[in-house]
Structures are given as C-alpha cells and as structure tokens.
Amino acid sequence: MECVFGIDIGGTNIKIGKFYGDELAESRRIKTDKSDVGANILGDVARVVREMRGGDEIAGIGIGVPGPVVGGVVLGAQNLGWKEFNVEEELGKFFPGVVIRVLNDANAAAVGEWAYGSGAGFSSFILMTLGTGIGGGLIVDNELVEGASGSTGEIGHIRVGYHNDRLCTCGLYDCIEQYASATGVVITANRLRVGRETILNEIEVTAKNIFDHAKLGDEVCLEVVNHMVEKLASALAAITNTVNPEVIVLGGGVSKAGKFLLDRVEKRFRELAFFSVRNTKFALAEMGNAAGMYGCAYEARKKICKLKDSALN
Amino acid sequence: MECVFGIDIGGTNIKIGKFYGDELAESRRIKTDKSDVGANILGDVARVVREMRGGDEIAGIGIGVPGPVVGGVVLGAQNLGWKEFNVEEELGKFFPGVVIRVLNDANAAAVGEWAYGSGAGFSSFILMTLGTGIGGGLIVDNELVEGASGSTGEIGHIRVGYHNDRLCTCGLYDCIEQYASATGVVITANRLRVGRETILNEIEVTAKNIFDHAKLGDEVCLEVVNHMVEKLASALAAITNTVNPEVIVLGGGVSKAGKFLLDRVEKRFRELAFFSVRNTKFALAEMGNAAGMYGCAYEARKKICKLKDSALN
C-alpha cells in the first residue's frame, strides 16, 4: 500500500506518524539526539521510518522542524543545534525518489489543526500555541502562508511592552512570548507574589499551578492571569487587524487552562479589537501534540498532488 | 472600445479613472457630497461615468470605499455617512450587466501600488499609508487578502502603548495611528515642544513642518521623528512577524518625508524585528493618489477574467 509519513521534530522528542491517506496507521516517538550539533537526527528518523514502512511504498514525507523554512532549507534551528541546513536534500538522500516537504513545526501544527481540528471548515485561520514559547501559523484562503523567509506565524515575537523590561530568548525585549507563554506567566507570578498572601509562596510556581489556583480564587494568581490576558488580547488584536482570519485557535500546554482562559482572552479581545474584527471566532486546539504530524503528512500529500498536476500540464 | 472604470471614493473627493486595459485614458475628480448621509454619492459617480464613457462599452467598474467590505457590501463608511450598504447592488442598478467590484479603499491602493508601483514584481507585499490616519493592504501569493470581515490591512489600529494615553478615532487607545500618522506626530510635537527651544514654538505645528525642520536639525523635531519611528518600526515588526511579506511599502502624505523617514524606519525595524524577517525590503510608494483608481480597475478586470473562466468550466 502507499503511505505518507508525517514527522514532527522537537527539541526533546521526535514524533513519527505513518499515514494511509488521512488515517494515522501507526506512530512512534523517539528522543531527539542533539549531540554533535544534531548531526544524527535525520539518520535516526530515516532508520525508524524504514522500520515502520514495512512492505508499503512511501509516496511522501512531510517533516516539521523548529525554525524558519524556505524552499526545503531551514534557516536555523537553535533547539537542534542546526544552522542553515538543506533538510529536503539531506533527508532525500535516505529516500531517493520520495517527495519531501519541509515545514516549520508551528506551521505544520497549524495545518494539522486547520485540516483536522478546531480550524476545520474555515478558509482562514490562525493558530497560536502557548507553550514554553509561543509559535503559530496562518492559513489564508485554504492555503498555508509560509512567508518570504519562512517566518509567517512568528507571532510569539510581537512586542507588547516599551520599557525593555523582559529580555526574550530571541534577543529582543518584551515579546509576547515573555508574557503569555508558560515561561511568561511564571515571570509575572514571581514578581507579583512578593510580599503578598498567595498560595504561590507555598507551592511551585508553574503555569499549571497559577491557572489552577486562579480558578480557585487566589487573588495573585488571578492578577497574573489578567496581566497575561491583557498582553495576549493586544497581540491577537494586532494579528487580527493585519490578517483578519475567521477564527483564532489557542493551543499548546497553557491552553489546557481551557475555557477559563479562552473566555477571558475572548472578552478582552472584543474590547481591544478594531470594530470590524470583533466577531472573530475563538476556539481551543483539539489535536494536541499530534497536530504537527498530521499537518506534515497533509502538506506532503498536497505536494504530491501538485507535482502530479504540474506533470500533467 | 471596451473600457473599465476605477473609482476611489474618499471623504473629500472622488477620483474616477477610465482605463483601456492597463492604461489610464482619462481621469476626473469630483467633490464627495456627504449631505443626506451620502445618499447622492453613487448617483454622482454614475453621472460622471456615463459622461466619460463616450461611445465605449463598460466591461467593469472597480470602486474603492473607505470602510470594510465583504462580498460587495460595505459594513460602514463613517466618512461618507454610510452605514451597512450594498454598494455592488446599488451601483449595479445604474449599470445593468456591468461587472462591479467593490473594495476597501486602502486595499485598492495596495493593489495599485503592488501592480504598478513599488510593489511590482513581488509576490507578497504590504502597503502602509501614513496620512491623516493609517491604513494598509496586504498581498499574499499575488492575491489581495481581504479577510473574513473585509478588515485585512486595518494596521492603523495596532496597539503600541499600554497606558491608555491617546484615544483613537476608532474608540480604542494607543493605536499606531495616534503616533505615526500626520495627526499623531502633531500630538507628539505639541507635547514635546512645551518649554523647549524649538522652531515649533514659532511656526504652525504640522507633519510637514516637523519633518522639514527635523532635516534641518531642530532637536525637538528630531525627537518627534524618533518617537514616531520607534512606534512605527514596532508595528511593522509585528506585522512582519505575522505575515512575513517580501517588501514593506510606505505611502500617504507623511511618506513624502522620503528617504529621511524611510532610512530611519528601516534601521529601527532591523533592530526590532525577529531575526529571520530582518531582511524584509523597504520602499516608498510611487503611485501617489492614483494608486486607488489603478487598483480598483485592476481588480475589476481580474473579476471579469474570473467570471469568464468559471463560465468556461
């Protein structure tokens, strides 16, 4: 049978899925070997793909990497130790004749969520993933927008402060990532809890604890959430004024705070957004960690179709 | 001969252009009659179009209006006195059988600038017009992006302050329009000049005077420009992180400050943008006030082609 692989390379794990059409047939997870500036990663991937292949023919491989991608080349993936690197060519050496589609990992997750999750049925859509950092992806007119330098959806680095208060991992100050990611809310909490009566002075300060105790009514935790929501809603308003999607989907670990978070973001967004985008829909992501694998497989199939189409014309 | 009209409806003037293909054959300008909640505007337009038509056949009319447009309906155009209004249908009553294409005016200008001006040759592009207010338009993959509620490119309302300092005409606070438009720099200048030695305490405080005297070395004027540039570069970085276009084009009256402004914006942008979008190109708009007319005619022709294509299939 013909199969397609969807592979999501993260800084900690690599998720590999084998698909028959839209259906995930099997998936595996391996550790990311970051030794030797990530030189073993593609070899590890190739070995597992060959094992999983069985007697099937591989029609295509979609692979998501944590960095900007232009034409199959990742411009740099700090988390893996990669500098500029032609992933399409290098992975292609293991699989001659197989169609390879290289994507940014957040873009891949956006495609997965749009094609199979909360974005299904919408023609334009933005995913914002609130994890350790913040990433995202944009669909316009049913197509992934990757951008001139593969950086569409780098929405974690929208500036939401003007006092050079929080240094971001990217080297800039006051990126939304420093306020609304899991890391960001912990920074806020560690500032706000000082000298206050709050459970945060008795337990570990994590995003999960902050949200759990905000739900239980801890005032400092609620303040932390409100602070995050203010910055996040502003960034989402900026995004929406720029590209005006039908729906905004929040994903990533922090979005597990669920409706408690979503309702607050949505309410403040409606207050902060330009009048004609106030009715933008909001939803929580549904695909979890599998979104990237699904999105990679989807885009690999799409590339196969396009190549067939252009061969016919 | 077959002709197409491009019509740009502004709050003060209406510009009407008659095109043979890409060529502007004739243009006229009439006053916008805002009396009676703008009820006479389309009638005035129709009268002039009929005069200009001569013996030619009208294949299509593209019309730009100052408000969000969805499917031929403007959701509201405050400057004209219009509430929600089906422009396609109403203008169509004057021209039965003629293809009508209704666009947001800033989007129309973006198309004009992209097709014939500084954006020519790029597949993705953003125009930001710095006038009394700030507007814009976005091209992705050679197509105008209009958005779910016709509001793509409402980039004048990106928030660039967090202290509810400047109330915007849209009802929100601290929109970039209040800092980087002609109006915005005057607000900044009127604050900064108090008790200072500056030419601004002797002459009229206008955007033109501010830039002219910044160029001559007036320190307060330079401070005003730097303040504007800081906010503008941040907003452009946010836009670029979201959609990653090949080129950013600055237009509108304030952009007449030319290279003096452009160089400063570009320099600060490169400091404030995410690493992988730092090489985004910058340019000044070239089409001036005619951009809208050209863009409307272009989009009308495009709609005619699409209708022909779908009739053939």
The pLDDT assigned to A228 comes to: 98
Residue B120 has pLDDT above 80, yes or no: yes
Query: Both tokens of residue B118?
Result: 């500084």
Closest-CA distance, B239 to chain A, in angstroms, reads: 6
Other residues' Cβ atoms within 10 Å of the Cβ of residue A281? 14
Question: At residue A47, what are phi and psi to the nearest 5 degrees?
Answer: -60, -45
Closest-CA distance, A161 to chain B, in angstroms, reads: 7
The ipTM (two decimal places) reads: 0.93
Query: Both tokens of residue A277?
Result: 């985008």
Closest-CA distance, A172 to chain B, in angstroms, reads: 7
In A, minimum Cα distance to B248 occurs at A148
Find the mean pLDDT for residues A289-312. 95
In order of their start, the domains of chain A are 2-103 (3.30.420.40), 118-286 (3.30.420.40)
Residue B160 has pLDDT above 90, yes or no: yes
Strand positions, DSSP E, chain B: 2-9, 13-20, 23-31, 57-65, 69-70, 73-74, 85-86, 99-104, 125-130, 134-140, 143-145, 247-251, 281-284
Q: Which of B74, B114, B134, B151 to mutate to test the interface with A (most CBs of A within 10 A)?
A: B151
Find the mean pLDDT for residues B272-287. 96
The overall average pLDDT reported for chain A is 96
- C-alpha B144/C-alpha B153 separation (Å) is 10
Q: How far is CA B45 from CA B32, B38, B53, in A?
A: 9, 12, 12
- C-alpha B24/C-alpha B101 separation (Å) is 18
Q: Closest Cα to residue B139, out of B241, B64, B249?
A: B249
Contacts of A46 (CB under 8 A, 6+ apart): A91, A94, A95
The pLDDT assigned to A181 comes to: 96
Residue of B79 and B75 predicted with greater confidence? B75
Residue range A149-192, pLDDT digits in tens:
999 999 999 999 999 999 998 999 999 999 999 999 999 999 99
Residue A304 has pLDDT above 80, yes or no: yes
Q: Tell me, yes or no, if B243 comes closer than 8 A to chain A by beta carbon.
A: yes
Q: Tell me, yes or no, if A133 comes closer than 8 A to chain B by beta carbon.
A: no
Q: Are A30 and A46 in contact (CB under 8 A)?
A: no
The pLDDT assigned to B313 comes to: 73
Residue A91 DSSP label: H
Residue B137 has pLDDT above 80, yes or no: yes
Query: Both tokens of residue B68?
Result: 């969000």
Q: Which residues from chain B sit within 8 angstroms of residue A161, using beta carbons?
A: 162
The pLDDT assigned to B312 comes to: 80
Q: Are strands B99-104 and A125-130 parallel, antiparallel or unpaired?
A: unpaired
- C-alpha A160/C-alpha A232 separation (Å) is 9
In B, minimum Cα distance to A77 occurs at B276
Inter-chain contact A162–B158, Cβ cutoff 8 Å?
no
- C-alpha B91/C-alpha B46 separation (Å) is 8
Q: Tell me, yes or no, if A143 comes closer than 8 A to chain B by beta carbon.
A: yes
Q: What percent of chain B has pLDDT above 70?
A: 100
Q: Are A232 and A107 in contact (CB under 8 A)?
A: no
Q: Are B140 and B111 in contact (CB under 8 A)?
A: no
Task: Give the pLDDT band of residue A26 (cuts 50, 70, 90).
Answer: very high
- Whole-prediction pTM: 0.94
Other residues' Cβ atoms within 10 Å of the Cβ of residue B3? 23
The residues facing A14 across adjacent strands are A9, A30
Contacts of A111 (CB under 8 A, 6+ apart): A103, A137, A139, A144, A294, A295, A296, A298, A299
Query: Both tokens of residue A312?
Result: 């016919």
The pLDDT assigned to A313 comes to: 74
The pLDDT assigned to A310 comes to: 87
Residue B244 has pLDDT above 90, yes or no: yes
The overall average pLDDT reported for chain B is 96
Closest-CA distance, A248 to chain B, in angstroms, reads: 12
Question: At residue A210, what are phi and psi to the nearest 5 degrees?
Answer: -60, -50
Q: Closest Cα to residue A27, out of A294, A304, A309, A299?
A: A294
The pLDDT assigned to A312 comes to: 81
Residue A267 CB-half CA count within 13 A: 8
Residue A277 DSSP label: G
Q: Tell me, yes or no, if B151 comes closer than 8 A to chain A by beta carbon.
A: yes
